[in-house]
Structure 1
Amino acid sequence: MQTVNDITNQRGFTLVEVMVALVIFTISLLGLAGLQAAALRDNHLANQNTIATQLAEDMAERIRANPPGISNGDYSAISVQPGEQDCYGGSCTSGQIAQMDAYQWFAAIQSTLPSGTGTVTASGSQFIITVMWDQERTGATGTNCSGNYDIDLKCLTFTVQP
């Protein structure tokens, strides 16, 4: 049986238990906050990859939609944004359509990806479409696609057979 002296000697023990529980709870909340931050970052990077994939597919469809432009070599070397073409009236050559496609493609890349750019090159009967952007927002400008995002842009490359 407990006496009055035993109960008074345990005074404050519950407070220590509560303090330990609060410390454990605080540490677990900090861990959850870190996990949430990592998930948000990874979600943002996945979104950038999705956008780059959609942009590469967009250019692939533009190439496929202009067979005369393919045979004339109008898509064989696109690496800078050309001047704007207005081909909505229907009186453009295949080269002008290719130029309009490139202009719109570059505009879409630049408006949706940080420091975004792209290239299209021909390799035999295939086209290599590369979308590049500053994934880590480090100010990288290199186009070597090395994986070192401090100096090189992130690259996504597709090979297309029209």
Structure 2
Amino acid sequence: MLKQKGATLIEVLVSVLILAVGLLGLAATQVMSLKNGNGAHHRYMAVLAAQEIIERMRANPTGTMSSEYDGTVGGSSGDGGSDGSGGSDGSDGSDGSDGSDGSDGSDGGAGSSSTPDCSSACSDAELADLDLYEWELILSSNLPDATGTIAHNAGVVTVTISWSEQHTGENYGVLDGDVDNASFSMIVEL
């Protein structure tokens, strides 16, 4: 009978090949998970930012009813909060950031170029300006290329937040890693 030589070596090579393909699949799954996790984080931050401005509007009903909050803020490029900083407590941007507004100058003082000061008593319009300024800082520090739009109509407020989202390419018919626009809207009766 003839002895087979090298059969064990071939079996080991096939096993290593199967293991390598499996590890590549695992790495691809991990990358996909990280990308989807980042998208979920952005959606979560958009919800928090929408709730933040709505609570500020509830605290200033006169400014809300006089449409001081209506308009668009943002549009400047942000880092998307990749360092984990930022939140919905209004303390964002107190670190000396430039506060560029990039707004379209619509109603509500959203186009104000200086930091609103309400360290002493301020009017409803000034409080709305401060709220919008701080909300813009929250958006720019937590979402990439974020814009926030507020529309008030007969006691119903619509807050829409839009940002750039890198997607995985699945079900989009575009290349993996391309940027797509994502948005979140919240409609509240005040």
TM-score (norm 1): 0.81
**Structure with more helix by fraction:** 1
One-letter identity of the residue aligned with 2:152? A
Structure 1 partner of 2:35? 41
1:78 and 2:71 matched: yes
One-letter identity of the residue aligned with 1:82? G
Which range moves more in the overlay, 28-37 or 102-111? 102-111
CA RMSD of aligned residues (A): 2.0
Instruction: Provide the C-alpha distance between the structure 1 equivalents of 2:117 and 2:53, rounded to a whole number of angstroms.
Output: 18
1:29 and 2:23 matched: yes
Summarize the Cα distance change of 1:60–1:48 in structure 2 as closer, same or farther, 3 Å threshold.
same
What displacement does 1:160 show?
1.4
Kept in 1: contact 2:148–2:160 (CA 8 A): yes
1:157 and 2:151 matched: no
Matches within 5 A, 1:1-162: 5-6=1-2, 9-75=3-69, 77-79=70-72, 80=103, 81-83=110-112, 84-89=115-120, 91-136=121-166, 153-162=181-190
Instruction: Provide the C-alpha distance between the structure 2 equivalents of 1:66 and 1:58, rounded to a whole number of angstroms.
Output: 13
One-letter identity of the residue aligned with 1:114? P
Unpaired runs of 5+ residues, structure 1, are 138-147
Number of residue pairs the alignment of both structures matches: 143
One-letter identity of the residue aligned with 1:88? S
Summarize the Cα distance change of 1:10–1:151 in structure 2 as closer, same or farther, 3 Å threshold.
closer
Percent sequence identity over aligned pairs: 31
Instruction: Provide the C-alpha distance between the structure 1 equivalents of 2:10 and 2:166, rounded to a whole number of angstroms.
Output: 45
Instruction: Provide the C-alpha distance between the structure 1 equivalents of 2:181 and 2:14, rounded to a whole number of angstroms.
Output: 48
From the CA coordinates, give the structure whose radius of gyration is larger: 1
Instruction: Provide the C-alpha distance between the structure 2 equivalents of 1:118 and 1:151, rounded to a whole number of angstroms.
Output: 19
Kept in 2: contact 1:121–1:129 (CA 8 A): yes
Residue by residue over 1:82-108, the C-alpha shift from the partner in whole angstroms, topping out at 9 and shown as x without a partner, is 32211132x101111011101111121
Residue by residue over 1:44-100, the C-alpha shift from the partner in whole angstroms, topping out at 9 and shown as x without a partner, is 11111111111111001110111221232322x2213332211132x1011110111
Instruction: Provide the C-alpha distance between the structure 2 equivalents of 1:104 and 1:55, rounded to a whole number of angstroms.
Output: 10
Kept in 2: contact 1:82–1:102 (CA 8 A): no
